Amino acid sequence: MTKKTRNRGFHHVVYACRNSEETRHFYEDLLGMPLVHTEVKNAPDGFFRHLFFDTGDGSCVAFFEVSGVGENPDWSSEVSTGNGLPVWVNHLAFASDEERTETVREQLAAEKIVPLMEVDHGWCHSLYYMDPNGIMVEFCRDTGEFGVDPETALARLDSTDDTDYSTFIQPLDIEGLRGFNLFPEPKGT
């Protein structure tokens, strides 16, 4: 019989990056997540670099910069738009509070990086940005009851009824979208 154990959160999550230094600047200098570990491995026709940034509790957001390790020539680090999805679908959400969110806003504004969007989800406030790799990052602070309710959650898995009452609390800054369309028309329509 399989022994049940409780999972222990994330150790790291990993994405591909376009450029190690550009990625380090964004996560370490601007967002204050220290680069704590880097591995470099040579391959017969290339190499990879594997970077780890501490997100604040010892868990890491990590990246691979790859060259000649089997990637397609037209590979994309854009986990949503590069995969035919709206930019907000695949994303990274960091836990935040008001002070942290406002510090992030100031730090990024100093480099003229503006939010992609800002949303009141009812149970949380979310400030969203695009990282240098085209990956959306969210700073999410609890503002109400998340609503842990496994029974309802399970029942909704085959529902299409609206339960999302999100409100944009900041008009989208078109400059900040950097060419990304939040709600693109599907191709062929």
Site residues (vs Fe ion, CB under 5 A): 93, 138
Residue type, 42: N
Tell me the closest approach of the beta carbon of residue 142 to Fe ion, in angstroms.
13
CB-based closest residue to Fe ion: 93
Query: Toward Fe ion, which CB reaches closer, 92 or 177?
Result: 92
CB 4 within 8 A of CB 110: no
Walk across the sheet containing 167-170 and list its strands. 91-95, 136-142, 124-130, 117-120, 167-170
**Strand 35-43 with 91-95, pairing:** unpaired
Least distance from Fe ion to the Cβ atom of residue 67, Å: 31
Q: Which is nearer to Fe ion, 65 or 138 (CB)?
A: 138
CB of 172 to Fe ion, least distance (A): 17
Nearer to Fe ion, 54 or 138 (CB): 138
Q: State phi, psi for 40 to the nearest 5 degrees.
A: -125, 135
Q: How far is the CB of 125 from Fe ion (least distance, A)?
A: 11
Q: Which is nearer to Fe ion, 126 or 133 (CB)?
A: 126
- CA 59 – CA 52 distance, rounded (Å): 9
CA torsion sign, 13 to 105 to 58 to 39? positive
